[in-house]
Amino acid sequence: MTEQTPDEVAALISEAENTAQSLLAFRMSKLEQLASDLRGLVLTLSDREQFDPAVWQQGCDEIEKGASELKSDRREIQKISGPGFLHRLEKLKAYPAAQSAIWNYKEKLETLPSEVMMFYREYKAFKARFFEDRVVFLDIDGVLLTFGNWFIPHNFELVSTPVEDRMDQLQLDPRSIALIVKLCDLADASLVLASGWRKTWPHDHEALLERLIEQGLRRELWHESWMLPVLPGLNKWQELAKWTEGASNLVALIVDDEVPADPQPLYAKKVEILQTSTREGFGFYNYVDALKFFEVADKAVKVPPSIPPRGTQFYPTMGSGGPSRRSSTSFRP
Over residues 271-322, the pLDDT tens digits come to: 999 999 988 899 999 999 999 999 999 998 887 777 666 678 888 888 654 4
Are 31 and 116 contacting, i.e. CB atoms less than 8 angstroms apart? yes
Per-domain boundaries in the chain: 6-125, 132-314
Report pTM.
0.74
24 near 104, Cβ under 8 Å?
no
275 and 256 Cβ atoms separated by less than 8 Å: yes
| Residue partners of 180: CB distance under 8 A and separation at least 6 | 136, 138, 144, 191, 217, 255, 282
DSSP-derived pairing of the beta strands 270-275 and 313-314: antiparallel
pLDDT tens for 86-131 read 999 999 999 999 999 999 999 899 888 999 999 988 998 898 888 8
Contact 255, 143 (CB under 8 A): yes
Of the CA atoms within 13 Å of residue 111, those in its CB half-sphere come to 13
In contact, 249 and 132? CB cutoff 8 Å: yes
DSSP state of 78: I
- Find the length of the chain: 333
Q: What is the DSSP letter of 250?
A: E
DSSP-derived secondary structure letter, 150: G
| pLDDT mean over 260-277 | 92
Residue 74 identity: R
For the domain covering 132-314, report its CATH number. 3.40.50
Q: Please list, in sequence order, all residues whose beta carbon lies within 8 angstroms of the beta carbon of residue 292, skipping any fewer than 6 positions away.
A: 312
